[in-house]
């Protein structure tokens, strides 16, 4: 398959189950909402070393938030529900509670409950106050008001969760580093418009793609040498001679469909740049189908895309 001179390799991205949740953070200004969102989702690129994967899903207008203020929607993913229950309150307490003017609300109604103020309310040292909204006979959503030096912090007691997908990906093979980066940036700009996904790595782009295993004891992942241009000729390579740089985009999503759509949108954007822009091929990372049950087949995803095919 060729799209605008770019080869879509006959392979698939291999992804795995994750458990995810959504938080809605609001503030007096869009700037402070973004500060809280970026801080909360910092150091969250990979569960390999960070314990979770997180990112800003999108910014929210005042009419989209529970308290009528500007906000951001965050997605946080972990490998299991127990890990998610631990990491979310920690990030909430350290990064949202501490941030001026913020409030935090549940972004998912269904699924297993992830504690928010249910855990961090004890910071108020007995001065916390709870209220329930909606429902009857004691039912409804509970939120908490915690006094802080600035005023008070308002936060839902908990939020819901979903069985999500982590590790969707594709690789951009380009002639040069600059051309690879331009293609990746273009893909990211298009992909962040897709609801229900995040791109957890810096700027949405990964330069240090990994493979399973290492020559060093204790490391279960190491550099993906088959896609390192400087190692061509010393290791079995997947790169043709004209490829001088490879960048990866990793996708986490609330569903298989969301990750597949983000993949389609991203590859379409890269192929619009095409061979004239230095893009040689699109590939994907997998482990022979043995790591994760979700397989995103590139050619199937792109079969209805724009461009000449062969």
Q: What is the pTM of this model?
A: 0.93
Return the structure tokens found at 214: 């290492």
Kindly provide the b/e burial profile for residues 156-186, where b requires at least 16 CB atoms within 10 angstroms of the residue's own CB. Answer: bbbbebbebbbbbbbbbbbbeeebbbbbbeb
Answer whether residue 124 is part of any domain.
Answer: yes
Secondary structure of residue 222 in the 3-state scheme: strand
pLDDT at 55: 98
Q: Are 172 and 268 part of one and the same domain?
A: yes
Give the contacts of 249 (CB within 8 A, at least 6 positions apart).
Answer: 169, 170, 172, 184, 187, 188, 191, 199, 201, 204, 205, 206, 266
- At residue 6, the 3 state secondary structure works out as strand
| Domain edge (last residue) among 102, 134, 162 | 162
pLDDT value at position 48?
A: 87
Q: How many domains does the chain have?
A: 2
Tokens at 183, concatenated: 């293609």
8 A C-beta contact, residue 145 and residue 128: yes
Site of tokens 């690789």: 171
Looking at the fold, whether 10 and 27 belong to one and the same domain comes out as: no
Query: What is the three-class DSSP state of 41?
Result: coil
Residue 282, number of CB atoms within 10 A of its CB: 26
Which of 146, 162, 178 delimits the end of a domain?
162
Cα–Cα distance measured from residue 82 to residue 237, given in angstroms and rounded to the nearest whole number: 39
Specify whether the CB–CB gap between 308 and 39 falls below 8 A: no
- The pLDDT-based confidence of 218 (bands split at 50, 70, 90) is confident
Do both 28 and 153 map to the same domain? Answer: yes
The residues facing 54 across adjacent strands are 76
Instruction: Clarify whether residues 223 and 158 are in a common domain.
Output: no
Span 76-116, pLDDT tens digits: 999 999 999 999 999 999 999 999 999 999 999 999 999 99
- Residue 171 predicted with pLDDT over 90: yes
Question: Among 136-140, 162-166, 210-214, 289-293, which stretch is predicted with the lowest mean pLDDT?
Answer: 136-140
The answer to the question of residue 239 being in a domain is: yes
Domain shared by 177 and 274, yes or no:
yes
Model confidence at 124: pLDDT above 90: yes
Share of the chain above pLDDT 70, in %: 95
Give domain status of residue 308, yes or no.
Answer: no
Domain boundary residue, one of 122, 139, 162: 162
Residue numbers of the domain that contains 72: 19-162
Can you tell me the mean pLDDT for 179-208? 98
In a domain, 51, yes or no: yes
Q: 196 and 134 in one domain?
A: no
Q: Are residues 156 and 32 in the same domain?
A: yes
Q: How do residues 28-67 score in pLDDT, each as one tens digit?
A: 999 999 999 999 999 999 998 999 999 999 999 999 999 9
260 lies in the same domain as 231? yes
CATH (domain of 203) = 3.30.70.520
Using alpha carbons, select from 109, 24, 99, 101 the residue that is nearest to residue 61: 24
Q: Are residues 174 and 136 in the same domain?
A: no
Residue 120 has pLDDT above 50, yes or no: yes
pLDDT at 309 over 60: no
Q: Are residues 243 and 154 in the same domain?
A: no
Task: Assess if residue 288 is contained within a domain.
Answer: yes
Strands 162-174 and 12-26: antiparallel
For the segment 230-258, what is each residue's pLDDT rounded down to a tens digit?
A: 999 999 999 999 999 999 999 999 999 99
Q: Are residues 52 and 184 in the same domain?
A: no
């Amino acid at each position: 398959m060729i799209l605008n001179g770019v080869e879509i390799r006959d392979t698939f991205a291999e992804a795995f189950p994750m458990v995810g949740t959504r938080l809605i953070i609001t503030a007096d200004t869009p700037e402070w909402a973004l500060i809280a969102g970026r801080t909360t989702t910092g150091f969250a690129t990979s569960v390999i070393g960070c314990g979770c994967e997180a990112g800003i899903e999108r910014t929210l207008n005042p009419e989209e938030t529970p308290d009528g203020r500007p906000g951001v929607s965050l997605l946080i993913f972990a490998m299991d529900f127990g890990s998610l229950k631990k990491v979310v309150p920690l990030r909430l307490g350290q990064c949202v509670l501490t941030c001026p003017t913020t409030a935090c609300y549940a972004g998912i109604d269904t699924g297993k409950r992830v504690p928010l103020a249910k855990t961090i309310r004890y910071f108020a040292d007995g001065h916390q106050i709870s209220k329930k909204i909606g429902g009857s006979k004691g039912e409804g959503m509970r939120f908490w008001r915690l006094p802080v030096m600035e005023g008070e912090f308002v936060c839902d007691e908990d939020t819901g969760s979903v069985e999500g997908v982590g590790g969707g990906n594709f690789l951009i093979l380009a002639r040069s580093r600059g051309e690879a980066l331009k293609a990746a940036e273009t893909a990211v700009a298009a992909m962040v418009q897709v609801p229900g996904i995040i791109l957890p790595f810096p700027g949405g782009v990964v330069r240090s793609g990994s493979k399973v295993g290492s020559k060093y004891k204790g490391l279960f992942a190491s550099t993906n040498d088959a896609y390192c241009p400087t190692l061509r000729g010393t290791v079995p390579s997947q790169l043709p001679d004209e490829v001088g740089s490879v960048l990866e985009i990793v996708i986490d999503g609330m569903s298989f469909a969301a990750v597949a759509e983000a993949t389609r949108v991203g590859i379409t954007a890269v192929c619009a740049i095409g061979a004239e822009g230095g893009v040689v091929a699109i590939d994907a990372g997998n482990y022979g189908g043995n790591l994760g049950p979700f397989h995103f087949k590139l050619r199937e995803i792109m079969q209805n895309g724009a461009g000449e095919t062969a």
